[in-house]
Amino acid sequence: MKIALSILILIFGRLLPHPYNFTPLIGLILYATSEHNITKSLMISIIGMLISDYFISGTFTWYVYLTIVILTIIARYTVINTTPGVLMLNSISFSIIFFLITNAFCASYYNSLSASYIAGLPFLRNQFLGDIFYTIIFFKLNGIIDTISTKKIYVD
């Protein structure tokens, strides 16, 4: 159930109206990697992205998927504990890595790498806010589900 819910949050977080770059992707990568092995983590993120990309544009930007793979591999080694400080540091770091990698692949559109990074700066704030917000959502929701599923129900 958690896997399906995670994928649905990613899909609807991207499909429903939202500020540019305010999406659940980084939060999902951090959460999925903390809960599952690297293969399952990748599958969760990529399935959600493929479905939402299909409905958004019908196109798939390969370097975004490459970035998902890179971030999932990094997360395997950095999401060792899930204390709030570590999660926020990972969220912010992953936002920066995502920005650097994806904008580097857009450099040809802007005729230079620096122009690509400058053009992307207005979206970076929303990236930070969205990544932090959804990281909190995924981990809090996980705690709530765990609490509910471990409670015993007694019927008189």
Does residue 103 belong to any structural domain of this protein? yes
The count of domains in the chain is 1
Confidence class for position 56, pLDDT limits 50, 70, 90: very high
Q: Is the pLDDT of residue 97 over 90?
A: yes
CATH number at residue 70: 1.10.1760
Q: Does a structural domain hold residue 149?
A: no
15 in a domain, yes or no?
Answer: yes
Do the domain assignments include residue 156? no
Which has the closest alpha carbon to 78: 140, 125, 137, 26?
26
User: What average pLDDT score do residues 60-78 get?
Assistant: 95
Q: Which domain holds residue 103?
A: 2-140
Q: Name the average pLDDT for the chain.
A: 92
The predicted model scores a pTM of 0.89
Q: Does any domain span residue 84? A: yes
Which residues, in sequence order, are CB contacts of 112 under 8 Å at separation 6+? none
Distance between CA atoms of residues 147 and 155, nearest Å: 19
Please give the pLDDT value at position 154: 61
The pLDDT of residue 153? 61
Question: Is residue 69 included in any domain, yes or no?
Answer: yes
**Residue 39 placed within a domain:** yes
Mean predicted confidence (pLDDT) in 10-32 = 95
Average pLDDT value for residue range 15-33:
95
At residue 150, the pLDDT reads 77
Which range has the worst mean pLDDT, 27-41, 47-61, 75-89, 120-134?
75-89
How confident is the model at residue 147, as a pLDDT?
85
Q: What band does 155 get if pLDDT is binned at 50, 70 and 90?
A: low
In a domain, 146, yes or no: no
